[in-house]
Amino acid sequence: SIPEPQREAWKKHQVQGFTDKDGFEKEVVRHVETTLARSLFNCDEGAAYSATSLAFRDRLITEWNRTQQRQTTADTKRVYYLSLEFLMGRALDNAMLNVGLKDVAKGGIDELGFRIEDIIEQEHDAALGNGGLGRLAACFLDSLASLNYPAWGYGLRYRYGIFKQEIINGYQVEVPDYWLDFNPWEFPRHDVTVDIQFYGNVRKSQDDNGKTVAHWEGGEIVTAVAYDMPIPGYATPSTNNLRLWSSKASSGEFDFQKFNNGDYESSVADQQRAETISAVLYPNDNLDRGKELRLKQQYFWVAASLYDIVRRFKKTKRAWREFPDQVAIQLNDTHPTLAVVELQRILVDIEGLEWDEAWTIVTSTFGYTNHTVLPEALEKWPVGLMQHLLPRHLQIIYDINLFFLQTVEKKFPNDREMLTSVSIIEECQPKMVRMAYLAIVGSHKVNGVAELHSDLIQTTIFKDFVKIFGADKFTNVTNGITPRRWLHQANPRLSELIASKTGGHEFLKDLTQLNKLELSIDDAAFRKEWAEIKYANKVRLTKYIKKTLDVTVNPSALFDVQVKRIHEYKRQQLNIFGVIHRYLALKAMSPEERKKQLPRVSIFGGKAAPGYWMAKQIIHLINNVGAVVNKDPEIGDLLKVIYLEDYNVSKAEMIVPASDLSEHISTAGTEASGTSNMKFVLNGGLIIGTCDGANIEITREIGQENIFLFGTLSEDVEDLRHAHTYGSHTVDAGLNKVFEAIQSGTFGEPNDFGAMVAAVRDHGDYYLVSDDFQSYIDTQKMVDNEYRNQDEWIRKCIRSVARMGFFSSDRCINEYAEGIWNVEPLVVN
Ligand code: OAK
């Protein structure tokens, strides 16, 4: 560091960052002219966006430096959030709002000849995630910074994020998402690199004390390069770091020998193989596919992150046993579970600790969050693959399992069934490593993400582990969302209205203050303004639908929205069958009767995993229904069916505030939590849903009179499934009519959707669509009736928003901090 006498000069010139319009404009112009090498004669919206972002980035990085300095000096415990996905969306609007300078920027942009909305629209979403799990990680980063927790996120810097979805002739087509063309938010740290080893062999030797030491030798090396993204907190100078690793050939690996001998192709091939590791995000949500490259991604990212964390810890010169006092690592699902093994390897093989001492440190450091109970999503890796790619890690896994099973044996003597059931190695053909079991054994706390989900994991998939470790190790932390992005940024007018009724923007830091809104519920002017804001948001979406799909929808109709990944368990098929049912009913009515019906727009959006054939069928059916219904002159405004292409975070910010009703209708017991349910209610929309995930706690908080619940309860699911398979399974008349319409070719070729119909009618209806269909239709009828009474509807919306305080990700992060991480915020003066 700089010697004391020279520090004055540094301090004198420390970057302060702009605080007013003039300062902001100066920075923008400077970036246009120097960083971008443009002039005012060729500054388009793209350049204006770039320069604005760079101006804010400079500000963030100044605070980022100070925050890191403060944390290093304070020498307190840090949290590391390991996630293969961070679904960040756009950064500029968020940065402007969080540092409190959006108005300043708006004024400045205006004077420079642009509109701030257009500038914001220029930004490409950072789409490094599939859905719920990745977006939760992004909300958590916002809360961690906003609450001043010393925390880092660690992930992969994919060159291609989640694919872009195009709908062509009603079918999903995937287009690569190359997002790094110009990314002002990242800082390449070419000096922060880690060499990561794969393959090779393990040799064992004896040290001077006769202790056996393992040496992992040979194989190949790939280099991890750090890229940092500053994460600004809201209304605080705290700016945390998201470190994403990018892979490149190690300098040793790029074979100059080959290159000089003219074997260019092979030397370039080596390089490309290394870069492939961080090339692309796997596009599966709630599904494990077991691909070797995916395992390589996991180890690459986990090993680089742990090396970094350990390097930081070693600088403090503390004893190893203090590691868990300085470091908390959270595993976002099982994807980073190899971190458990890697830390044990570092401590035992490299640092020379005894196994037991090392293992105590490891288990005190990690916490594991489970995000799904779906069996097809639970990660398992073939032992053979693990042996080949990570030979030393497999040995350590076997040892962890051995010691674990010995303790089980002690507690449950002669219980072979128990041993087989909890073994980290599944004794099947081929043998598999069960990653969730490894994560449980390697962590001191395991949590689910909503009450029902946490109960389910403790009574079903992990029940034997509860017997072994005791109930205290298992806990619940119900998910939350950041009100900064999902209210203030997405719905600025509603945020202002709420501020005017609750005494300023305090609610953005303490969401429970929303409860003050109930005091204004009888204020007619307030309700009117509330309704006007909803309408304006619907008009905005209406225009977007017109522009992108050339369909005219009536903004006064009830907007019924289901946007999320397409999955059979989320039951978009139930929704579209309901839409067809409605269409058939309208068609059967006399014109007079039809006039009495309530107009509705059914809006869908979401991506299907490219290999998920049934999900793609569902998308196709929705689009085909839209094509018929939307141009039926007898129907007109009464029903429109819209499929919004390429649903992502920034589209959600437009869609969520425009919803009257949103659908969260998964088969009970399948959706771990859901978080869009929270976003919709927070934006003054009501929801129709099943008793599943966080819907249950939303009901508890807002009152059951403010939510439209229907369908089977989770405790009845198993019996119904059993009855479908072994008893007689009949489908009621209403649903049969829907099937007849589909199979008579009303929505395309008669055979097109045969498998979808058969799944419900003939093949056991695993997701209980037929069981829930009638109560879904009845509940939708109730929705129609209640929507007619607009005044009462608005009251319900306001009351619901007022009671949503619990669902802030700030509450959630505080629960993790206290119950799992044992970390404290670092107060800033
Ligand atoms: C993705 C891949 C593997 C396992 C789980 C997921 C996932 O996205 N799960 C989702 O996590 C969200 C955040 O906790 C929950 O709200 C969703 O219900 C859950 O499906």
Give me ligand 1 centre to Cα 337, in Å: 16
**Residue 371 is among the residues annotated as catalytic for this protein:** yes
Confidence band for 267, pLDDT divided at 50, 70 and 90: confident
Q: Is the pLDDT of residue 254 over 60?
A: no
Give me ligand 1 centre to Cα 766, in Å: 20
Give me ligand 1 centre to Cα 381, in Å: 20
Q: What is the pLDDT of residues 766-797, one digit of tens each?
A: 999 999 999 999 999 999 999 999 999 999 99
Whether the CB-CB separation of 570 and 564 falls below 8 Å is answered with yes
Please identify, by atom number, the ligand 1 atom nearest to the C-alpha of residue 369: 14
DSSP 611-623: T-HHHHHHHHHHH
671 lines ligand 1 (CB under 6 A): yes
712 lines ligand 1 (CB under 6 A): no
Whether the CB-CB separation of 491 and 797 falls below 8 Å is answered with no
**Residue 431 is among the residues annotated as catalytic for this protein:** no
From 366, 314, 321, select the one nearest 339 (Cα to Cα). 366
How far is Cα 143 from Cα 156, in angstroms, rounded to an integer?
21
Averaged over 494-514, what is the pLDDT?
Answer: 98
Q: What is the pLDDT of residue 181?
A: 87
Neighbouring CB atoms inside 10 A of 504's CB total 10
How far is Cα 475 from Cα 451, in angstroms, rounded to an integer?
9
Confidence band for 251, pLDDT divided at 50, 70 and 90: confident
Averaged over 104-113, what is the pLDDT?
Answer: 98
674 lines ligand 1 (CB under 6 A): yes
454 lines ligand 1 (CB under 6 A): no
Query: Ligand 1 pocket: which of 84, 289, 332, 372 to mutate (most atoms <8 Å of CB)?
Result: 372
450 lines ligand 1 (CB under 6 A): no
Give me ligand 1 centre to Cα 373, in Å: 9
Q: In the numeric block, which tokens belong to residue 111?
A: 């004077």
Q: What is the pLDDT of residues 178-227, one digit of tens each?
A: 999 889 999 999 999 999 999 999 999 999 999 999 999 999 999 999 99
Q: In the numeric block, which tokens belong to residue 373?
A: 């109970």
Structure-token match 């929270």, residue found: 678
Catalytic residue among 38, 473, 534, 565: 565
Averaged over 409-432, what is the pLDDT?
Answer: 98
The ipTM is 0.99
How far is Cα 285 from Cα 568, in angstroms, rounded to an integer?
12
670 lines ligand 1 (CB under 6 A): no
Residue 639 forms beta bridges with which residues?
A: 600
Catalytic residue among 296, 564, 571, 651: 564
**Residue 679 is among the residues annotated as catalytic for this protein:** yes
How far is Cα 237 from Cα 231, in angstroms, rounded to an integer?
11
Query: Ligand 1 pocket: which of 81, 83, 133 to mutate (most atoms <8 Å of CB)?
Result: 133
How long is the chain?
829
What is the CA angle 825-827-829, rounded to 5?
Answer: 165
Inter-CA distances, 153 with 49, 136, 226, 309, Å: 26, 12, 12, 11
Q: Is the pLDDT of residue 268 over 90?
A: no
By alpha-carbon position, which residue is closest to atom 2 of ligand 1? 286
By alpha-carbon position, which residue is closest to atom 12 of ligand 1? 132
Q: Is the pLDDT of residue 829 over 80?
A: no
- The share of the chain scoring above pLDDT 70, in percent, equals 99
Dihedrals phi, psi of 243, to nearest 5 degrees: -105, 120
Give me ligand 1 centre to Cα 188, in Å: 30
Cβ contacts of residue 701 below 8 Å, gap of 6+?
803, 804, 806, 807
Catalytic residue among 90, 345, 371, 505: 371
Average pLDDT, the chain: 97
Cβ contacts of residue 423 below 8 Å, gap of 6+?
401, 405, 434, 437
Cβ contacts of residue 362 below 8 Å, gap of 6+?
340, 343, 344, 347, 442
94 lines ligand 1 (CB under 6 A): no
Q: What is the pLDDT of residue 264?
A: 77
Q: What is the pLDDT of residues 619-643, one digit of tens each?
A: 999 999 999 999 999 999 999 999 9
443 lines ligand 1 (CB under 6 A): no
Averaged over 251-267, what is the pLDDT?
Answer: 70
CB under 8 Å, gap of 24 or more: what pairs does 198-202 form? 198/222, 198/296, 198/299, 198/389, 198/390, 199/388, 199/389, 199/391, 200/391, 201/391, 202/391, 202/392, 202/395
By alpha-carbon position, which residue is closest to atom 4 of ligand 1? 286
How far is Cα 90 from Cα 180, in angstroms, rounded to an integer?
13
167 lines ligand 1 (CB under 6 A): no
Q: What is the pLDDT of residue 204?
A: 97
How far is Cα 84 from Cα 292, in angstroms, rounded to an integer?
16
Give me ligand 1 centre to Cα 461, in Å: 16
Q: What is the pLDDT of residues 113-166, one digit of tens each?
A: 999 999 999 999 999 999 999 999 999 999 999 999 999 999 999 999 999 999
For the question of whether the overall pTM of this predicted structure is more than 0.90, the answer is: yes
155 lines ligand 1 (CB under 6 A): no
Catalytic residue among 679, 721, 729, 803: 679
479 lines ligand 1 (CB under 6 A): yes
Query: Ligand 1 pocket: which of 82, 84, 286, 337 to mutate (most atoms <8 Å of CB)?
Result: 286
- Sign, CA torsion 392/397/399/400: positive
Cβ contacts of residue 706 below 8 Å, gap of 6+?
686, 796, 799, 800
DSSP 165-234: EEEETTEEEEE--B--SS-TT-EEEEEEEEEEEES-EEEEEE-TTS-EEEEEE-SEEEEEEEEEEEEEPT
How far is Cα 711 from Cα 773, in angstroms, rounded to an integer?
8
131 lines ligand 1 (CB under 6 A): yes
Whether the CB-CB separation of 134 and 156 falls below 8 Å is answered with no
**Residue 512 is among the residues annotated as catalytic for this protein:** no
Q: Is the pLDDT of residue 253 over 80?
A: no
Is 568 strand, coil or helix?
helix
Give me ligand 1 centre to Cα 478, in Å: 13
